[in-house]
Amino acid sequence: MPRRRPLVIGHRGAPGYRPEHTRSSYELAAELGVDAVEPDVVFTQDAVAVVRHENEISGTTDVADHPEFADRRTTKSIDGADLTGWFTEDFTWDELSTLRARERLPQLRPRSASFDGTQPILRLAEVLDLVRRAGLDQGREIGVVLEIKHATYFAGIGYDVAALLAAELARAGWDAGQLPLTVESFEQSVLADLRSRGIRGRYVYLLESTGRPFDLVASLGRKAPTYASQLTDAGLDRLAAQVDGISLDKRIVLNERGGRVHAPSAVVARAHERGLAVYAWTCRPENAFLARPFRRGRDKAAHGDWEGEWQMIADAGVDGVFVDQPDLGVEFFRR
């Protein structure tokens, strides 16, 4: 059954106010009342699960300022795109622990950038413990929505991603269903692999508004289905038999086409008819992130008519929303 109000999920913590994936970002999200937080997971050279938006870390850490790591800068193909920088899999955890986090969008979020250089990056284990403690301190359940990043890429260089995460979740006590765990990925194959290992939770498939999932591109090439084709009736029928929910780029929910926003997409209702939960990402108030009709003025960092956009997302009947400013998300979606 659809929820009466959507879950409010702190997207990488509270990155509207603190550098993403830092301890203060997650702590602030919990203090501001989110239902769950969302850590993105990649791996180190010695197979430690760390929380970073990407395995390329030049934009979110001070790695470029460390002369001892200058020779680690390289170019790699990640999910079919060439990227140049520093990558987590080329560092041990001990080496990564010497780095400090930085705001990824300093021009848009100078308040968050004022915390640059003050906090180390975190392991997944630390986030799991932090969330459990915050829930106990506040006397309520706070969930974790764990996003697995680049699973096919990591598998291709020798990592057994599902096995590593299953062991990590078991060690932290997040494997048996006693704590509210959701696992999500843009690659459905790793979700199936992790579920087969007995990790209890909700499994959610992430879908972009364009493109194709890389695990299927890797196995099927040009025959790989698009994300859009998986939102047809036949595609949703298949997904309903394999996952618990889908998580959609908000442009899909808003039915955004050609710079215009139309009535909320019927895909949410069609997914609900098949028993799938539906999440939307990402709700942000800054003009830079809003659909064109909701922008106000030319300042990308200024807040536009975010309430108008978020109301359309709420009207679509989604079961969960990812937010960068948890205070705004909690206040708006719990009205």
pLDDT of residue 4: 76
pLDDT of residue 2: 55
Contact 231, 278 (CB under 8 A): no
User: Angle at which helices 188-196 and 161-172 pack, to 10 degrees?
Assistant: 50
Which amino acid is residue 273, in one-letter code?
E
Q: What is the pLDDT of residues 265-305, one digit of tens each?
A: 899 999 999 999 999 999 999 999 999 999 999 999 999 99
Contact 256, 265 (CB under 8 A): no
Q: What is the pLDDT of residue 239?
A: 98
> Structure pTM?
0.96
pLDDT at residue 257, rounded to an integer: 86
> pLDDT tens digit string along 209-225?
999 999 999 999 999 99
pLDDT at 165: 98
Structure tokens at 104: 């990824």
Span between the terminal Cα atoms of the chain, in Å: 20
The tally of CA atoms less than 13 A away on the side-chain side of residue 59 is: 12
Burial 145-159 (b: 16+ CB within 10 A, else e): bbbbbbbbbbbeeeb
> What single string gives the DSSP state of each residue in 151-194?
HHHHHHTT--HHHHHHHHHHHHT-SBSSS-EEEEES-HHHHHHH
- The Cα diameter of the chain in Å comes to 56
Backbone angles phi, psi at 247, to 5 degrees: -125, 120
Topology at the third CATH level for domain 7-333 = TIM Barrel (3.20.20)
- Sorted by where each begins, the domain ranges of the chain are 7-333
> Residue 152 in contact with residue 218, Cβ under 8 Å?
yes
Instruction: Tell me the H-state helices in the chain.
Output: 23-31, 93-96, 110-113, 124-138, 151-156, 161-172, 188-196, 214-220, 233-240, 250-253, 267-273, 306-315, 326-333
Low-confidence ranges of the chain (pLDDT < 50): none
Amino acid at 170: A
